[in-house]
Amino acid sequence: MIKQKKVVVVMPAYNAAQTLEKTWSEIPLDVVDEVVLVDDASRDETSQLAKELGIHHVLRHDRNRGYGGNQKTCYAKALELGADIIIMVHPDYQYSPKLIESMAYIIANDVYPVVYASRILGKGALKGGMPMYKYIANRLLTLFQNIMMGQKLSEYHTGYRAFSGEALKKVDLEANSDDFVFDNQITAQIFMAGMEIAEVTCPTRYFKEASSINFKRSVIYGLGVLKVCLQYRLHKWGMRSTYLNGRG
């Protein structure tokens, strides 16, 4: 625990058997109380390996629910466990779990309710091997999102995130997509609820075994991001979007 607050790490997993052990080995278990891994119907031995490694809670979907659907299960389980701080780490070893403690302390000290690890702050993205087209798309989408949402994040597209339990309770996770655009919908929900997001710089690794979406899925994701921005702006102008209504 950190300052008497329960810390739960969640890992949305899909075909992560080759990288899971490396990720697990860097999780600071001296401050993390529980670890939840949700296997989204992987075709490899992700679930079995997770149990062998001693991961506290291993859940497996009977069918593939998608990246957003996986996160919904992750967060629901973390809240069920009484988490005060929930940190999502991908088990593909693209992001370093060594930042977990730093991100958790920001929330534990009530500085910010949400923390994102940014690949764009500093030189982490290109230095770590992010393809140039993805880097440019990331920068252009982030610029558009900041303009539409009135924010100043360096990156909206990181998969390394920390939330206070109270922050997640204020948004309607189930109203979001089960696909990759879930990440941007929850960001919009956080801002719509009047909460702020802190950022820490994060090194990243791009290699063959690290998960990544192909060009076609990237385009679909980008269009989804633009739609979320427009929905956010229209919601601000009084044209309501259900998933942005929050929980009170």
Q: Does domain 7-244 have CATH number 3.40.50.1000?
A: no
- Interval 232-240 mean pLDDT: 86
pTM of the model: 0.92
What six digits make up the tokens of 14?
Answer: 């899909």
Can you tell me the distance from the alpha carbon of 136 to that of 225, in angstroms, rounded to the nearest whole number? 15
pLDDT band at 52 (very low <50, low <70, confident <90, very high): very high
- Interval 218-237 mean pLDDT: 91
Q: In this prediction, what percent of the chain has a pLDDT beyond 70? A: 96
- Interval 165-178 mean pLDDT: 96
pLDDT band at 212 (very low <50, low <70, confident <90, very high): low
pLDDT tens across 9-26, in order?
999 999 999 999 999 999
- Interval 142-171 mean pLDDT: 96
- pLDDT score for 166: 97
Task: Flag the least confident range among 136-140, 185-189, 196-200.
Answer: 136-140
pLDDT tens across 63-102, in order?
999 999 999 999 999 999 999 999 999 999 999 999 999 9
- pLDDT score for 241: 74
Residue 128 has pLDDT above 80, yes or no: no
